[in-house]
Amino acid sequence: MPSITFVLPDGTEKSVEADPGANLMRTALAADIASIVAECGGAAMCATCHVYVDEPYAALFPPVGEVEDEMLDSAAEGRSTASRLSCQLTMPDRNITLRIPASQQ
């Protein structure tokens, strides 16, 4: 099973396995990743499941959706070209790394 490495704001890392196709936000919540808040439960409405997906992993995901694009402007920590809402992403079939912002609200 492929795994996700979460790079936490203090630089420490935590890895969890995830089935391909699993929702990344829900996987992070199940793994108790602090600062993935996901208040809206996955409707792309709250921007509190913001993650940074750097290359080469970014290319494993479909482009930013139109509603996701609007919502990323509300992310508490600055938006970058790597910004995604983890509720909109599903696990690819290989290992990935996600950087977690320090604040979500």
Partner 1 sequence: MDSGAELFDQATPHGSQPPTVPVFGVDPYADDFLTDPYADYEAFRDAGPVIRLSRYNAYAVARHEQVQAVLTQPDIFCSSAGIGLTNFKKEKSWRTPSIILEADPPDHGPKRRILTRILSPAALKKLREEFERQAAFFVDRMIEKGTCDGIKDLAEAYPLKVFADAVGIPAEGREHLLPYGDLVFNAFGPINERFEKRMASAGATMEWIKTICSREALTPDGFGSQLYAAADAGDLTEDEAALLVRTMLSAGLDTTIFTLGNAVVALARHPEQWALLRDDPSLARAALEEVMRYESTFQSFYRTTTQPTELAGVRIEAEQKIWVGIASANRDPRRWEDPTRFDILRRASGNLAFGTGIHGCVGQMIARMEGEIVLRTLAERVAELVPAGPPTIHFNNTVRGFSAMPLTVTAKAS
Binding residues for partner 1 (CB under 8 A): 29, 37-47, 65-67, 69-71, 73-74
Rounded to whole angstroms, the Cα distance separating 16 from 39 reads 22
CB-wise, 7 or 45, nearer to partner 1?
45
Taking the complex as a whole, the smallest distance from the CB of residue 39 to partner 1 amounts, in Å, to 6
Beta partners for residue 51, in sequence order: 84
CB-wise, 57 or 87, nearer to partner 1?
87
Taking the complex as a whole, the smallest distance from the CB of residue 43 to partner 1 amounts, in Å, to 3
Beta partners for residue 15, in sequence order: 5
What is the rounded radius of gyration, in angstroms, for the C-alpha atoms of the chain?
12
Which residue in the block uniquely carries the two structure tokens 């910004």? Answer: 83
Taking the complex as a whole, the smallest distance from the CB of residue 84 to partner 1 amounts, in Å, to 16
